Amino acid sequence: MGRLFGWLNNIINPHDEEPEAAPEKKTAVPANSRRPVFPECSRPSGDGNIDDADYWWCFEGHPHEDIPLFDIINNDLIIKDIKNNIKTGALPVMEIPDNVIKTLRLLDDPEFSYREVANLIERSPGMAGEFLKITNSSLVSTGTTIHDLKTALPRLGKVKIKSMLYMYSSKASFMHKSVFESLAVDIVEHSYAVGLIAGFLSQRYFANPDVAFFAGLLHDIGKLAILKSIAESYDIPKRSGMMFCEEMFDRIFPELHEKVGLYIAQSWRIEDSVKAAIMHHHDLYISPNDYANTEMVENLCCLINISDTIAKILGKGKSIGAVNIFQEESVNRMHWVKDWSTVEFLGCIPEMMDFKLER
Ligand SMILES: [Fe+2]
Ligand SMILES: [Fe+2]
């Protein structure tokens, strides 16, 4: 579990290395490889127009790579099996450890106290350590290092604590015993990136940064559940040196991961707006009759959609084709205004991606 939030060490103890020199033009590198390096988003002297081509959000796409086919088992068979298991309720859910369940229940009690929550979390020293790391990270740090969980938890707040408990459980449920471990780390790293970006963008584009972080963290939870299901249902040979990447599941993930994610979120009784973001972060479809606050839910789906794209542009996620975020439907629907203040705001995002999970 030590590696789950290991990237936060990098935020707390950033590398001492000299920053890489920014190239003249933005450089695309393959996803899951080194993070692309982009020029800073500074305002040039004079009152020139904003030219998207000068900035990271106008991305030329990752170069094409030949991806080996996931030919070990039949894609159609996997998709059929998983759809059937969703229908019958037989899809394995992420098991949540008993101590986490107790903590989640306590957090749902309107009268809960952070002291009680801390007492429960402290029973698992690994989990307690991760919470302290997060509290001391750039996500919530106020500049003073906190060593005590009872001080740390109120700073995180109920929603962040819950989202981290779910992520802790889902990753822990199959790490160290799955052929997909490395791919799962990639997906978790992408999920953290999306949570972080969504929380940051909320300063301007969404009212509740905690819910945005929560939805970003869990938006692709269905992918982890699919990997877990495949690993448990099929005998995947551990071919020496074989590395699984997300692109190898390009037929399975797009067809299933939102539905599987929703299935998992329902089993965890996650709140409706986060469930909607899990289900609709790609299609952005929100039925007007399904939610009490349709506008807020649609906004959250759009926020997660664009955070997902930004994470991919910035090298945290699978490869992506040419894209300009200002031409994306989600940005359109959120009515982003492209001015110099927005340029400077968005310019903060690439450096937030300077983290890497331990492998
Ligand atoms: Fe997704
Ligand atoms: Fe994603």
Task: Dump pLDDT digits (tens) for 12-52.
Answer: 333 333 333 433 334 333 444 445 556 666 665 556 788 88
Residue 338 has pLDDT above 80, yes or no: yes
214 found inside a domain: yes
Q: Identify the three-state secondary structure at position 206.
A: coil
pLDDT band at 9 (very low <50, low <70, confident <90, very high): very low
105 found inside a domain: yes
Same domain, 162 and 216: no
54-68, 121-135, 280-294, 335-349: which has the minimum mean pLDDT?
A: 121-135
> Which ligand is closest in space to the CA of residue 281?
1
Å from CA of 309 to ligand 1 middle: 10
Same domain, 306 and 351: yes
Å from CA of 118 to ligand 2 middle: 31
Same domain, 139 and 29: no
CA distances from 354 to 11, 151, 214, 326 (A): 8, 27, 20, 23
| pLDDT number for residue 139 | 57
Highest mean pLDDT among 86-95, 230-239, 250-259, 296-305: 296-305
Å from CA of 190 to ligand 2 middle: 7
Same domain, 267 and 322: yes
Please give the residue range of the domain that contains residue 127.
95-172
| pLDDT number for residue 2 | 34
Å from CA of 322 to ligand 1 middle: 18
Residue 140 has pLDDT above 70, yes or no: no
Same domain, 132 and 155: yes
Task: Taking residues 153-182, report their average pLDDT.
Answer: 80
Same domain, 270 and 154: no
Residue 208 has pLDDT above 80, yes or no: yes
Helical H runs in the chain? 7-12, 75-88, 98-108, 114-122, 125-135, 149-156, 158-172, 181-205, 209-218, 221-233, 252-267, 272-280, 294-313, 329-334, 340-346, 349-352
Å from CA of 95 to ligand 2 middle: 22
Radius of gyration from C-alpha coordinates of the chain? 20
> Which ligand is closest in space to the CA of residue 258?
1
| pLDDT number for residue 231 | 85
Å from CA of 303 to ligand 1 middle: 13
Q: pLDDT exceeding 90 applies to what percent of the chain? A: 39
Highest mean pLDDT among 23-37, 83-97, 302-316: 302-316
Ion ligand 1: residues, CB < 5 A: 220
Same domain, 58 and 201: yes
Domain stop point among 147, 172, 197: 172
Å from CA of 245 to ligand 1 middle: 15
Residue 204 has pLDDT above 90, yes or no: yes
Å from CA of 110 to ligand 2 middle: 32
Task: For residue 192, give the nearest of 219, 172, 174 by alpha carbon.
Answer: 219
CA distance 128 to 174: 20
Å from CA of 188 to ligand 2 middle: 10
Q: pLDDT exceeding 70 applies to what percent of the chain? A: 79
Give residue-wise pLDDT tens across range 222-250. Answer: 999 998 888 888 877 776 567 788 888 88
Task: Taking residues 47-73, report their average pLDDT.
Answer: 82
Q: Are 117 and 106 in contact (CB under 8 A)?
A: yes
Same domain, 254 and 190: yes
11 found inside a domain: no
Task: For residue 65, give the nearest of 11, 97, 17, 28 by alpha carbon.
Answer: 28
Task: Taking residues 255-272, report their average pLDDT.
Answer: 92
Å from CA of 91 to ligand 2 middle: 21
Domain stop point among 140, 172, 204: 172
Task: For residue 227, give the nearest of 94, 318, 317 by alpha carbon.
Answer: 94
Domain stop point among 126, 152, 172: 172
Same domain, 222 and 117: no
Tally the domains of the chain. Answer: 2
Residue 107 has pLDDT above 90, yes or no: yes
At 329, which CATH number? 1.10.3210
Same domain, 293 and 307: yes
> Which ligand is closest in space to the CA of residue 282?
1
2 found inside a domain: no
Task: For residue 167, give the nearest of 13, 299, 349, 357 by alpha carbon.
Answer: 357
| pLDDT number for residue 124 | 79
12 found inside a domain: no
Å from CA of 308 to ligand 2 middle: 5
Å from CA of 310 to ligand 2 middle: 10
177 found inside a domain: no
Å from CA of 278 to ligand 2 middle: 9
pTM of the model: 0.80
Å from CA of 135 to ligand 1 middle: 27
Q: What is the largest CA-CA distance in the chain?
A: 63
Å from CA of 201 to ligand 1 middle: 18
DSSP 325: G
13 found inside a domain: no
164-173, 221-230, 265-274, 345-354: which has the minimum mean pLDDT?
A: 164-173
2: left (phi over 0), alpha (psi -120 to 50) or beta: alpha
Q: How far, rounded to the nearest angstrom, does the alpha carbon of residue 86 sit from its chain's CA centroid?
A: 23
Mean pLDDT for all residues in the chain:
81
10 found inside a domain: no
Å from CA of 289 to ligand 1 middle: 24
| pLDDT number for residue 37 | 59
Same domain, 55 and 73: yes
Same domain, 137 and 61: no
> Which ligand is closest in space to the CA of residue 187?
2
